[in-house]
Amino acid sequence: MDEANFPWAEFYRRAITFQIRIEGWSDRVAICPGGFGFQYNSLKRIDWLALYELATSGHLRVVKWSEGSFTYF
């Protein structure tokens, strides 16, 4: 996967522009897109497996912001 498929490095900007957020990110994966120092190519196989399991079960997804909610860390 490369940046052309999903702009990981710019996720926080895209999230603000398109008013989207990631819901259901795994606690087993230390850092998420938009976080300081996130690099998708540094994720280990166990991290991808945790994210895959959440995505296929429908828990990990990208959703629109709820009306009136905005939290950015």
pLDDT digits (tens), the chain, 73 positions: 455 566 666 788 888 888 888 899 988 887 778 777 777 788 899 998 999 999 999 999 989 987 665 566 5
Residues 21 and 63 sit within 8 Å (Cβ to Cβ): yes
**Where exactly are the structural domains of the chain?**
8-64
Note the pLDDT of residue 73. 55
What pTM, to 2 d.p., does this model score?
0.68
CA distance 22 to 1: 19
The pLDDT of residue 1:
45
